[in-house]
Structure formats: C-alpha cells, structure tokens
Amino acid sequence: MKSRFTDFHPVRRDRLIQETRHDAYKAKHKLPEPTLCPQCGAVFHDGRWQWLVKPAQAHEEMCPACHRIHDDYPAGYVSVNGPFFKDHREELLHLARNEEAHAKAEHPLKRIMKIEDEDDGLLITTTDIHLARGIGEALHHAYQGELAYHYNEQENLLRVVWTR
C-alpha cells in the first residue's frame, strides 16, 4: 500500500503498540553522574544504581528504593502463612533475608521494606516486584507448599502468597 503523501506511513495492524508503563518512582529526567543517595549511599553511575565508593562532588538525590520506603509504598507483597509457618518462623525469615541480601548486593533498589506479623503468618513488603517473586520462589523451592502470584500491571504491583 503506497501513499501519495511522502511523509505519511500507513498504519500497520499486525503489530501491537506497547503503552509505556507509568512508574512514579522512576526518574523523570536523566540523573547527573555521579548521583549519590543521601539515605542509603547507593551511587547512580553508568545509567544504574550501584554500591560504589562515595564519589567526591556527587549530586545528591534520593534513589527510588529509599523514596518508596519514605512514602511507605511497596511494589511487592509476600504473604507467608499456614500451619508450617508457626513452627518454622525463624527459618522462613532467615531465608527471606538471605534472598534480599543476595539480590541487594548486585541491585541496590531490591530491598525488604517491612516484615509485619499477621494473625496466621507474615507480610513482607519489598521495593521491587522481582525481589517479592524471588522470595516466593525461594520459599517454594526450599519448603514446597502452595505459591500464587497476583500481578497488577496498571500499578506495577506484585502480590505473592506462599502457604504450607
């Protein structure tokens, strides 16, 4: 299909147009390099947040993880419950903390925000959906049980439920 207008391109109906996902915690502008988070000490360098030595004369701006923690607005929720939880609480917490330490060592924006006791279990909130998924998968791999994911694409939010 050829158009008589030289700058007009016909609409292709065989491709889906991906809408951009709105994330209030993603920088709206390019951060100057280096940028230091005054809360946690992470450094924005080479286009990503990293654990580096504090640079001299760095621009300061709060990283997205500290911003989420400050606003108390998690990206991930992990519910841990069931009869198994009551007898193995400390083991399960230790596993979740190890998963966070492993992820956070390479990716400073992956952190546990809070661990709250509930009636029959725990609620772990995270700054990143991938960490929430990783904690759920680690629990399932180590202790089996039932694992369910509920992803809300509009809010970029993941709820993970592990029960045994």
pLDDT given at position 100? 98
Taking the model in full, what pTM does it have?
Answer: 0.83
Calculate the average pLDDT of the chain: 88
- pLDDT bin (cut points 50, 70, 90) of residue 119 is confident
Judged against a pLDDT cut of 50, whether residue 5 lies above it is answered with no
Answer yes or no: do 119 and 152 share one domain. yes
**Side-chain half-sphere exposure of 159, counting CA atoms within 13 A:** 6
Answer yes or no: do 79 and 152 share one domain. yes
- The total of structural domains in the chain comes to 2
- pLDDT bin (cut points 50, 70, 90) of residue 30 is confident
The residue among 34, 64, 94 that closes a domain is: 64
Answer yes or no: do 153 and 89 share one domain. yes
User: 63-105 pLDDT, tens per residue?
Assistant: 999 999 999 999 999 999 999 998 999 999 999 999 999 999 9
The tokens for 37 are 């988070």
Q: Is residue 41 part of a domain?
A: yes
pLDDT above 90 as % of the chain? 75
